Amino acid sequence: MSYETITYAVDDRVAVITLNRPEVMNAMSLKLCVEIKDAVARADADDDARVVVVRGAGGKAFSAGYDLMDPGAEEFRTGGVESWRRRMNHDLQFTYSVWRCSKPTIAMIEGYCLAGGLEFAQMHDIRYCADDARFGVVETRFSAGIATLAMPWILGQHCRELIYTGDIIGAAEAKELGLVSRVFPKADLEAEVMKIAKRMSRVAMDCLRWNKRAINQTYETMGFGAALAYGAEAAAILDGTETPELKQFNEVRREKGLKAANAWRKAQFAEFE
C-alpha cells in the first residue's frame, strides 16, 4: 500500500513509520491518523518486523499535534458535545494503535512534540529523544481537551504542573521527569535508537509479544482503559461547550489564520513566562 502522509519501511527486523508532513511540523490530519493506524497494523502482521519505530520527517518536529487547519475536521467543531465525543473517540483509538500493537513500539523524537503529538508519543512503549526535543501540553492554553490523558500514568503527580500551565519543557527536564528514557545528541539519535531497536529485535518474537501483553495487562488491571475513556469524555465536554478563551482563539484562527491565533494565545501568557 502506498501512503500520502507517512512512509513505511522495514530495516533488519525494525519497521520504521515516518510522519511525513514536515511543511506543517508533521501535524496530524485525519488522513494521517488513518494511514498511521494502517501502517501499525501492517507492521504488527509483518513477520519480518519485530519492533516498530515511529518518527517525524524534517528534523524540526516529531509532531506539533492535531492539524487545526484540516478541512476534514471542521465538522467536529460545529456539532456540540456529541460531535466532539466522536472526535475524541477517533483520536483516542488512533493513539491506542501503538499501545495495542503486539510488538514493542518506540517513539523517536526530535524537535517539537506537542499537544496531540505528545499524546501519541506517550502511548508508545518507549520514548527516546534528541537533545533539541521540546515537549508541551500546549492545548490547555487555549482550553482544548486532552483526548488521550496518558500523562498521569507516566509522570504521576508531576503531570499536574505541565497540564495546568501548558508550559513547554526541554529534553533534559523530560528525561528527569521520566517522560523519555534516554536523550541523545541530535546527530546521533537515529543511529542510537536503531541500534537499540535492532538489539531488541534479536529477542524471540513470542517473548517480546508476551512481555508486552503482560505489561499492558498490569496497566489495564489498574484501570488504564477506564481512566483514558473518562479523559476523552471530559475532553469532549470541554471542547463541545467552548470556553470564552477557546471561542476567541477559534474566531481569530478562522478570520486571520492559525499563526495569528497562536500569537494571540501566546500574548495572554507573555507577562508571566
Listing DSSP states for 20-73 in one string gives --GGGTT-B-HHHHHHHHHHHHHHHH-TT-SEEEEEESSSSEEE--B-TT-GGG
Pick the catalytic residue: 119, 173, 176, 190?
Answer: 119
Can you tell me the distance from the alpha carbon of 145 to that of 19, in angstroms, rounded to the nearest whole number? 23
Three-state DSSP state, 134: strand
Pick the catalytic residue: 35, 74, 82, 139?
Answer: 139
35 catalytically annotated: no
Closest of 189, 185, 162 to residue 174, by C-alpha: 162
167: buried, middle or exposed (CB in 10 Å: 19+, 13-18, 0-12)? middle
Would you give the end-to-end CA distance of the chain in angstroms? Answer: 46
Can you tell me the distance from the alpha carbon of 256 to that of 18, in angstroms, rounded to the nearest whole number? 31
Q: 137 and 123 in contact (C-beta within 8 Å)? A: no
DSSP bridge partners of 56: 19
119 catalytically annotated: yes
Cell of 35: 494511514
b/e per residue, 70-82, with b = 16+ CB within 10 A? beebeebbeeeee
Query: Which residue numbers are catalytic?
Result: 119, 139
